Structure 1
Amino acid sequence: MTDTMVRYQEFRLPDVGEGLQDAEIARWHVGVGDTVTDGQVVCEIETAKAMVELPVPFAGVVRELRFPEGTTVDVGEVIITVAPPEAVGAPAEPPAAEPARQPVLVGYGAAAAPTSRRPRRQAPAPAVPAAPAVPVRGTERAMAKPPVRKLARDLGVDLGRVRPSGRHGDITREDVRTAAAEAVPVPVPTESQEQVPVPVHETRIPASAVRKATARAMTESAFGAPHVTEFVTVDVTRTMKLVERLRKDPEFAGVRVSPLLLAVRALLFAVRRHPEINASWDEERQEIVLKHRVNLGIAAATPRGLLVPNIKDAQSLSLPRLAAALDGLVTTAREGRTTPADLGGGTLTVTNIGVFGIDTGTPILNPGEAAILALGAIGPRPWVHRGEVVPRQVTTLALSFDHRLVDGELGSRVLADVAAVLHDPRRLATHG
């Protein structure tokens, strides 16, 4: 290579965890001509697990963005090229011909053998070195979160023409759907025809990577593990009073305290008394695998779909630390910042369907776990208390479990312990 020639540095899409084969470019943070530093986040990608920020591993000036936002890219593809700062303005050396590309695992080396790949949703944009493939940073853009931008691309809606209704002037999913419905073309009438609007009877929305992954996992779980669900209705008036006291406790300042916190604590109490519930089934070896740590998953509804991040080693946390971990986990999930590490390794799950006003349900197991607890809506109901029918705060709990791992006795004892703690949370102190 001569002094007047330069080979650009190429940043390839890495495998960000669990052997993923591809990811979608959700958002670029840089444009052609921008200067980047080593470790600077240049884009966000959406995988089947989470939204992940990608830092570039070298410094220089962005020469080319290989793919526009919304494109699904295979692991190992070059997504951005960067010229060294001192080489800006020098002619580029044509890249050497690459061997047949194979998906790579963590890092940038080629895998030992090719793996199967899902078809791309969109062909990559042609590489034109000096022209930006996406808007250059600094160009005025409509305010919208990455999932909303993706929905707009899928429906062919120009965000620049959408009127925002979000609290902070941002565009919401409903704004995009409304704009898409208003933009549906109608046939041009001939002279002998009257102009009759074409009714819209349905809207098709491409499933996000998270929803596709959830659909596959739930189908596998529902038909792969024999589910049993048990229910119990319990007076939780004392728990609700404790929630109010904890909200005023300085130890819980700055974190959200809700009945879910005490339901989580009650389940951990039950696991300590019945550790066999914290297990998984090894189909290949036909073995029960007992887990010595409780990575407690919390089902969270997010704009990208259902996510189940988990609190690592939840059994070792004090109640204030558990409250902080729970609050941070849910907030991170709803903001789309959950990482693959947060989602992996779960052992048990709690889902709070009561926040939607639902009394109870039959939750499906998170794949690889033995049980999932559903907390129903809490509200006043007539209840026999101390020999009289009086209004009390009541809820219904549901516990689904894998009958290969958990028999009826174990499942019943676990659910009874959770109910006993929520009926009288003083048990947490008297029973350790």
Structure 2
Amino acid sequence: MAVFTMPSLGADMEAGTLTEWMIKPGDTVTRGDVVAVVETQKGAIEIECFQDGTVETLDADIGETLPVGAPMATIRAPGDNAPAPAEAAAPPKTPHAPKPPAPPPAMPDTDETPPASPAARALAAERGVDLAALSGTGPGGAIVMADVEAAAAPTRKPQAEPGAGLDMAAMRTAIANAMARSKREIPHYYLSQTIDLQTASDWLTETNATRAPGARLLMSALLVKATARAAAKTAQMNGHYDADGFHPASAVHVGAAIALRGGGLVAPALHDAQDLPLDTLMARMRDLVTRARGGRLRASEMTDGTITVSAMGDTGADAMAAVIYPPQVAIVGFGAPVSRPWVAGDTVCPRMTVTATLSADHRVSDGRLGARFLAAIDAGLQAPAAL
């Protein structure tokens, strides 16, 4: 038997509230299946299963707030025998009957509104779905997110409402706690390099000239890809540091920092970013932004990041020294691209440039290695067609 526990979804998480079960006793699950939805300071996170097997019991109630590591379910591995009748009769570990979730104070249940999970309510508000018109398929007839998804499919809004489903004050507190821990425990060092972006900018203009707006590439995709390629060649920038020391990662999962409407920040991972074609990478970045701002991310996206990229976009400060997100060991901050006088050969001419600032963990790397890493990013951006 394996115990499925409340996962840690980042350095800033201590507990989560179970808002929806996607499984029931007797269901067969495989690694990667979404089995539950947990509400955290960063919204509703879809929790994935990390083993194959059969659901034996559900050991947590809907609406229950559980600390990281608390048991949530028991899963019987393939080949394990089910409990014998005598065992099942003795102090059984029966599944809890899910309790109807308590609705948020601002959206109380009425005679016209059926019970719904908090996550379903947030999704309904985001998609403009009238809960009173739905029939729930959850426990006791409660409306769950699958019901809202089905109702919203034909008329989905193109964008989430600002801050939908998110407690911005709680998120800001969580971010502050994580960053305070990072600055307290990680010996940061910082290196900055100004990179000539003119070649990359010209290539983007030419590439996008015949594309529809939704298919165009953004400079951010090139920055992420160049960083991922450089990290794949520099093991000391890509991995996690814990009580046992540094563990280099075998793939580059770039955490893409996303600013949320109304405030707050998340950095979900773009898996295997070093190998993704630019068009695929751009599509995944757009998808992450949409789901992050709607408060709908997956657990693996919140925990798998091995290095983070934070970019100011087209407007903002010229440079940014970011704080490392533990347990990672590096983050690259890109300022806003700006036209500057640039020496090219024997002439001075205007060129589009960007300042890249590396914040790295001195327990794992040093300035010389960090400088080579920034140089590798620069080299990648000088050959955008090869990214």
Partner of 2:72: 105
Give the drift of 1:323: 2.1
| Structure 1 segment 24-423 matched on structure 2, within 5 A | 46-52=39-45, 73-75=64-66, 104-106=71-73, 132=109, 136-137=113-114, 145=126, 207-208=169-170, 210-248=171-209, 254-282=214-242, 284-285=243-244, 287-303=245-261, 305-422=264-381
Partner of 2:7: 17
Instruction: State whether residues 348 and 372 of structure 1, in contact with CA within 8 Å, keep that contact through their aligned partners in structure 2.
Output: yes
Structure-2 change in CA distance of 1:236 and 1:125 (3 Å): closer
Query: Tell me, what secondary structure is at the counterpart of 1:268?
Result: helix
Structure-2 change in CA distance of 1:260 and 1:273 (3 Å): same
Instruction: State whether residues 228 and 402 of structure 1, in contact with CA within 8 Å, keep that contact through their aligned partners in structure 2.
Output: yes
Identity percentage of aligned residues: 30
Instruction: State whether residues 281 and 368 of structure 1, in contact with CA within 8 Å, keep that contact through their aligned partners in structure 2.
Output: yes
CA distance, structure 2, for counterparts of residue 344 and residue 414 of structure 1: 24
Give the drift of 1:105: 2.4
Work out the number of aligned pairs and report it.
294
Report the TM-score, using the length of structure 2 for normalisation. Answer: 0.62
CA distance, structure 2, for counterparts of residue 411 and residue 348 of structure 1: 13
Structure showing greater Rg: 1
CA distance, structure 2, for counterparts of residue 389 and residue 305 of structure 1: 41
Q: Give per-residue Cα distances to partners, 1:17-45, cap 9 Å, x unaligned.
A: 33877545889xxxxxxxxxx9xx9x975
Q: CA RMSD in A?
A: 4.4
CA distance, structure 1, for counterparts of residue 240 and residue 37 of structure 2: 33
AA matched with 2:273: A
Give the drift of 1:387: 2.0
Give the drift of 1:257: 1.3
Report the TM-score, using the length of structure 1 for normalisation. Answer: 0.56
Relative contact order (alpha carbons < 8 A, sep ≥ 6): 1 or 2 greater?
Answer: 2
Instruction: State whether residues 225 and 273 of structure 2, in contact with CA within 8 Å, keep that contact through their aligned partners in structure 1.
Output: no
Instruction: State whether residues 232 and 252 of structure 2, in contact with CA within 8 Å, keep that contact through their aligned partners in structure 1.
Output: no
CA distance, structure 2, for counterparts of residue 358 and residue 414 of structure 1: 23
Give the drift of 1:355: 4.0
CA distance, structure 2, for counterparts of residue 51 and residue 125 of structure 1: 16
Q: Which runs of 5+ in 1 are unaligned?
A: 1-13, 28-37, 55-65, 77-101, 110-123, 147-166, 174-204
Query: Tell me, what secondary structure is at the counterpart of 2:251?
Result: coil
Instruction: State whether residues 232 and 238 of structure 2, in contact with CA within 8 Å, keep that contact through their aligned partners in structure 1.
Output: no
CA distance, structure 2, for counterparts of residue 134 and residue 256 of structure 1: 48
Give the drift of 1:222: 1.2
Give the drift of 1:133: 6.9
Give the drift of 1:321: 2.0
Name whichever structure is richer in helix by fraction. Answer: 2
CA distance, structure 2, for counterparts of residue 384 and residue 355 of structure 1: 23
Give the drift of 1:206: 7.4
Instruction: State whether residues 168 and 264 of structure 2, in contact with CA within 8 Å, keep that contact through their aligned partners in structure 1.
Output: no
Instruction: State whether residues 294 and 313 of structure 1, in contact with CA within 8 Å, keep that contact through their aligned partners in structure 2.
Output: yes
CA distance, structure 1, for counterparts of residue 271 and residue 375 of structure 2: 25
